[in-house]
Structures are given as structure tokens and as C-alpha cells.
Structure 1
Amino acid sequence: MKIGGVMFFTADSMQPADLARAMEDRGFESLWVPEHTHVPQTRLSEYPGGGPLPRPYYEIYDPFIALNTAAAVTTTLKIGTGIALLVQRDPIVTAKMVSSLDQVSKGRFLFGVGNGWNRDEIENHGTVFATRHKLARERIEAMMKIWTSDEPSYDGEFVKFGPMSQWPKPFQKPYPPVIVGGAYPHAARRAIRYGNGWIPRSDRLEDAGIGVVIKQFRDMATEAGRDPASLPITIFRVPDEIPKLRYCQEIGIDRVVFSLPAEKADTILPILDRWAAVKRDLGV
């Protein structure tokens, strides 16, 4: 089981290059960065965590810029969007950003994707909230065409373009893993339909039980004709509790990702050291 960390980078937090080096030095597998382009002052959608949005939601760096910085100072650490909001991104531009970052990192990019919950933010980008899931699927399908074809085209309800050329193609073949974030069962179905993995959050698996939900996901994949082994599971926001993490190992979780606060190095480094000790205890 691999272990990574996720952080909201801001101008006042530990910076991407410094954190990436510290994580690679401690043997962690991956660094992930969330995405919010902005946060409107209106609020049509409640924050899933309850109460007002934490300030880093307003201040977070663009994930691709942060990850490029991290990739430039490391050699083995994988870098991932956790998650990129595709309903707010042009697919042609994003396809080039993904393939470029995958090339400069020599195949270390993990493309975590999601469809978002903040209606105000999403609609500011001209996306209709009610149809965002189909829009996201079409944008992913269109990007896959761009990455794998010399003359890609796409003709969907929301995404349309005729034959075109775009290089570079991704370093990873056929493209970086598209890992779909979100809760069971809806995001799980999307992961099975067009993804190369699934990212649920630990706290949202607890009610039904992690083992129960993971079995349901794998059964769902089998029923859809997908090999569950082709859909590795990454659990975000895991606690540093050895019994729970050992259980994740036992049920075949591919990766767990712990959360880091948007703070300076004097706060972050002791957390990394604690997780490095956890990693040693788990034997990973």
C-alpha cells in the first residue's frame, strides 16, 4: 500500500518545492493538490464539512503550477491533482497541460478528477450545475481522444471539435491514470464507466464501513464488466491510526493519502515525521 499526502498550498503555507523534497526524502509515494479557482461570496451549496469554508479554499494555488514546481525538484515522487475540477476547465487546454506535466515529470502525474459541489463556483464558469456530470464525462472522453489519436475529434452534446492535432502526447501510455474522486455510489459508477481508479474519502466510508463499501464497489465493477484490479482505490484524508491502516492493507487498498494543513514548515515537518513512523510500522 502506497502513502501520499494532500495539501492546500497558499502564499503563506510551506511551498510546493520544499514539501515535495521533504516528502521524497521520507519515502512517501505521492503529493496531491486540490483545486478551487475562486470562492463566490454567495452560497447556494452548503460546505460538506459544515460551517464557513476554510480560508485556504480562497487562497489555494493553481494545482498544475504547484505540481510542476514539485516535479522540478524531485525524481521519484508522484504528483497528482486531488482533485481537478473538469467542469471548470476547457478540455483542449487541460489535455495539453496534463500531457505536458506528464512529460516534464517523466510519467509521474496522477490525474485525479471530480465534478465539484460548489454550485456558485461551477456556474461562474458557465456550467449548468444539473448537467455537470455528463459534461465532465464528455470532457474526459475528449481528452482521452486527444491523448491517443494523431487526428482526434469529438462530437458530444457539450463538447465538439473536428479533427485536429495536439502534441506532446503523455509520457505514460495511453495516458496518466484518470482517478475519479467522489462518494459511493454515484462517483463510484463514474469511476467504473470511464476511470482508471476511484478516490473516496475516509470519513465518508465510515458509516457503512470501509470494507463493506469497497466490496460493493468491486462487485459493481465486476457486474459492469470491469476487472476490479484495473480500478485501484485511493482513500483520501486517512487518520494516522495503525489498526485502520492495517485493515486498508488487508482489503487491498492501493493507496492512502493523509491531509496536511496549509501551514509553515515548522508545523508540517513534524506531521511528516509522524507519518514516516506510521509508514515504517506498516512496513511500506
Structure 2
Amino acid sequence: MRVGLHALGIGDGARPEVIRSVATAAETHGFARLWCGEHVVLVDAPVSRYPYSADGRIAVPADADWLDPMLALTFAAAVTSRIELASGVLLLPEHNPVLVAKQAASLDVLSAGRFSLGVGTGWSAEEFAALGVPFAKRGRRTEEYLAAMRTLWSQDPASFTGEFIRFEAIRVNPKPLRGGHLPVVIGGNSDVALRRAATLTDGWYGFNIPTADVPAHIAVLADECARHGRAFDELTIAVAVSDATPEHLPALEAAGITELVIVGAPPPTPDAATTWVTELARTWIRPKR
């Protein structure tokens, strides 16, 4: 089982010198992938419930620095050469899919094919309102945008007609490096997110899930794969587990996780960030036999 690190882009993890230290140390010590999430907008007193905590509140202060994930990961790509990169997650229905398709393919090219696009539907009605995007139908919008982006990545010129986006005979380059295919991962812990992972994407990213609940989520994912004729082993399954300890690693791997994602906030100085990543690696990454 691989181990990823979700630590870039927020607070001290938004500082370029800290990103450099975290990224290079993670690559040196064997982390498989760097993850970076997104919020364009936070508000001081949200009405919308955050779905990844028991109290419904996001832990990040509204006034914290939060980098655009595509830019943060491009910076990380420039200071590394092997470690994979993923948005975890980009809130796709908030964006123009033509622009996202170009940005994602550009990052894939600049990273020499190391990028996976993690997307989610979003949860904050306040954020959608600030961006002028309808909160309703965001799931359908996400599904359509994925189809449109895959058309752009694989065809040149490309045409698409849908409910939310239309274009005719346009050229959007560069293309992703893997034969016009860029791996897409869907984020979210709901059964709907698991269905989308099984039917629409290359993998699933579950976030802040208790260890005891992981097998049930993976069982739903496996059932959805079987229901829709999808081979379960085609999917990557990355999960950030809220209460995992190193002793849980064998059970999590046996449950079907292909990548355990460690979520954390790095310290504010480069040297301390390097030491922090080194200690995480000693704790979580098992030596190869």
C-alpha cells in the first residue's frame, strides 16, 4: 500500500519555502503522492455544513492563506522529479471546464505525466454564490464537465453539447501525456460519490473517514463496480483515515486501500518542515523488503 501526503497549500503550507521543503523531503523519503485541496472562498459564519467532520465545521480558519491547488502543485512539480501529484480535491462545478482541461493538461506536461486530477462537487453554498455558480445540480454539472474535459483531452478539434457547456470544433492544447488520458479521481464519502467513482473516474479519494468505517465504504464501491460492469481492481482507492495508527496498516491494505493519505499541517520553517516529513515517513512508510 502506498502512502500519500496531504499537506500543501494552506497556512504555513502555503509558503513557497515550506512547499519546497515538504515536496522534496516527501520525494526523498518515499511518499507516493502529494495532495492539495481547494477552496476559492471561505466565510466567517457558514450556514452550509462541512461534511467531513462530526461538528459540521471546517477546521481551517476563514482568514487562512489557501493557495490555488493547480498553482501550488505546479510549484511542487518544479522542485521534484518523481513524486506524483494530485488535487484533493478541485471543486469542479465552480470552474469553467474548458479552462480546467487546459490547466490540468498543462500541469501534466510540466510534471512529466505525474498529475492526477481529483475533483469534487463542493459543499459550501456560500462559495458557489460568491462565484456566481448555481449550487443546485452541481453533481450533474460535475459529471457533464468531466465528459467535456475528456473530449477536449482526446479529440482535436473537439466538440461537445450538454446542458451546462457547449463548444464546437475547438482546439485546446497541450494534451495530457498518457495518450490523451489524464487520470481523474472523485472525492467525497457519500454513496453518490462512490457511484461516480465506479462509473466515471479512475479512482476514489475518501477523506477523514474513521478506520472502522473504511470497509463499509469500500464494500459500497465494490458493489457499484459490480452493478455497472466495472472491474474493481481498475480503481485506485486513496483514503485519508481520521484515526489511523501504523498498527492499522495491514487491515487497511486488506480492506482494499491502495493509498493511505496522511493529512497534516507542516511547521512554518523549511528545516522544521523537512524534519516533520522525515518523522512522518519513519512512522508510516514501511521499509521495502
TM-score by length of 1: 0.91
Tell me the alpha carbon deviations over residues 206-238 of structure 1, each in whole angstroms, 9 at most, x when there is no partner.
3xx322321221122111111111122110245
SS at match of 2:89: strand
Unaligned runs of at least 5 residues, structure 2 = none
Give how far 1:122 is off.
1.5
Structure 2 residue aligned with 1:273, among 278, 283, 289?
278
SS at match of 2:169: coil
**Identity across aligned pairs (percent)?**
29
Aligned to 2:34: 31
Amino acid at match of 1:104: L
Aligned to 2:142: 136
Specify whether residues 35 and 139 from structure 1 end up closer, same or farther in structure 2 by C-alpha distance, changes over 3 A only. Answer: same
Specify whether residues 22 and 52 from structure 1 end up closer, same or farther in structure 2 by C-alpha distance, changes over 3 A only. Answer: closer
Specify whether residues 56 and 271 from structure 1 end up closer, same or farther in structure 2 by C-alpha distance, changes over 3 A only. Answer: farther
Structure 2: distance between partners of 1:4 and 1:34: 13
Matched, 1:116 2:122: yes
Structure 2: distance between partners of 1:107 and 1:52: 32
Structure 2 residue aligned with 1:224, among 223, 228, 231?
228
SS at match of 1:123: helix
Matched, 1:2 2:7: no
Amino acid at match of 1:201: F
CA contact (8 A) 2:108 2:115 kept: yes
CA contact (8 A) 1:235 1:257 kept: yes
What is the CA RMSD across the aligned residues, in angstroms? 2.2
Give how far 1:18 is off.
1.9
Matched, 1:246 2:250: yes
Which has the larger displacement, 252-261 or 7-16?
Answer: 7-16
Number of equivalences: 282
Give how far 1:132 is off.
0.5
Structure 1: distance between partners of 2:211 and 2:166: 37
SS at match of 1:188: helix
Structure 2: distance between partners of 1:11 and 1:201: 19
Aligned to 1:95: 101
Which has the larger displacement, 32-41 or 49-58?
Answer: 49-58
Amino acid at match of 1:255: E
Matched, 1:163 2:169: yes
Give how far 1:270 is off.
4.3
Tell me the alpha carbon deviations over residues 157-194 of structure 1, each in whole angstroms, 9 at most, x when there is no partner.
11111111111101123322100000131100111221
CA contact (8 A) 2:121 2:139 kept: yes
Structure 2 residue aligned with 1:212, among 200, 213, 216?
216
Aligned to 1:85: 91
Structure 2: distance between partners of 1:57 and 1:88: 20
CA contact (8 A) 2:210 2:243 kept: no
Structure 2 residue aligned with 1:60, among 61, 66, 69?
66
Give how far 1:8 is off.
4.5
Which has the larger displacement, 80-89 or 196-205?
Answer: 196-205
